[in-house]
Amino acid sequence: MTTPTVLSLGNMLVEVMRVELDQPLDRPGTFVGPFPSGDTPIYIDAVARLGCSAGFVGAVGDDDFGRCLLERFRRDGVDFSCGRVLADHTTGVAFVAYFRDGSRRFLYHWRHAAAGQLSPEYVDPAYVGGARWLHVTGCNLAVAEGPRQACYRALDLVSPKARVSFDPNIRPEVLTVEQVRALCAPAIARADVILPSLGEAAMLTGAASDEEGCRQWAAQGKTVVLKQGPRGCRIFQGEVDLCVPGLAVEEVDPTGAGDCFCGGFTVATLEGLDLAAAGRFANAVGALAVTQKGPMEGAPTRAEVEALLRRG
Ligand code: ATP
Ligand code: MG
């Protein structure tokens, strides 16, 4: 089995979102969708669209929503040879409402859906062992036992020469902060690159600020990339502390920017770009991601990224 260069695994969802602002999810209203989604599927699709060989391990149901996801993977060239289409589960769904103050509300059906059936048996040693980069996220460690153990097995099986990136992508809701830290600890220990959003570095390290948390991880030898929305990113590595300003675009839908950003940073790093150039490339991928409605719709091609970088 030939392994793609970049692998990820986790929750495959379609997203169905409110059309209008300020429409709560507890009453009738109009929705638009389905859009292919899930944090790691968005990441891997971004990697593939940038032209890098990519594979994904996860599950969908044998239904229209599942076909929506698989068709996107097929179009963009994401290998799904270790993924599964389950006859007795339906594809996972996320409902999203947007509010005028910029907040979002998510309602997920995934633990008991096909996505939640991902388990260590999906994780083939030869497939994972051949990858040069593995991307894992905290939300796939926090929600259900099968996906969690699948991620831990991938972390065990990945080659010591491969790089591992970790995006916390987690807010303690049901779990306590201590539980979240314990579940994420094995991924953080193995990670070469950690890509937190605002608040996550402080939460996971217990530091007083994100900056302090990022410095703690950098002192442990990690490359830390703090995502800062429209402001771009800040990169910590050893003594280096580098602010890379964001690129100005018109934001249509912020969901998925962080995942696309991580895909951009992965591809740039694999291609040997230095930290500043990788940060700029990833900022451009994240910026383009927010210009389209739908979490995966804005994942850009390389030509689109290069055009935005030229424009500056
Ligand atoms: P999510 O979890 O919702 O996908 P996130 O919180 O992980 O997002 P953000 O910091 O919102 O991540 O966005 C990731 C990156 O995308 C930013 O670091 C930046 O480079 C880019 N980005 C996001 N929003 C904008 C914007 N409005 N304008 C320009 N660039 C943006
Ligand atoms: Mg995020």
> Per residue in 12-51, pLDDT tens?
999 999 999 999 999 999 999 999 999 999 999 999 999 9
Nearest CA to ligand 1 atom 25: 230
**Nearest CA residue ID for atom 6, ligand 1:** 197
For every residue of 189-248, DSSP letters joined together read HH-SEE---TTHHHHHH--SSHHHHHHHHHHTT-EEEEE-GGGEEEEEETTEEEEEEPPP
Ligand 1, from 45, 290, 311: best to mutate by most atoms within 8 Å of Cβ?
A: 290
Q: Is the CB of 171 under 6 A from ligand 1?
A: no
Give the full edge-to-edge strand order of the sheet including 31-37.
31-37, 13-18, 92-98, 104-109
Burial class of 229 by CB neighbour count within 10 A (0 to 12, 13 to 18, 19+): middle
Token reading at 122: 């999906």
259 is catalytic: yes
Q: Give the tens place of pLDDT for each residue, 58-100.
A: 999 999 999 999 999 999 999 999 999 999 999 999 999 999 9
Provide the residue-wise pLDDT of the chain in tens; the chain has 312 residues.
689 999 999 999 999 999 999 999 999 999 999 999 999 999 999 999 999 999 999 999 999 999 999 999 999 999 999 999 999 999 999 999 999 998 889 999 999 999 999 999 999 999 999 999 999 999 999 989 999 999 999 999 999 999 999 999 987 677 899 999 999 999 999 999 999 999 999 999 999 999 999 999 999 999 999 999 999 999 999 999 999 999 999 999 888 999 999 999 999 999 999 999 999 999 999 999 999 999 999 999 999 999 999 987
CA distances from 18 to 42, 94, 104, 207, 284 (A): 20, 11, 10, 36, 27
> Which of 17, 106, 66, 21 is closest to 293 using CA atoms?
17
Name the 3-class secondary structure at 103. Answer: coil
State the burial class of residue 249 (Cβ atoms within 10 Å of its Cβ: 0-12, 13-18, 19+): middle
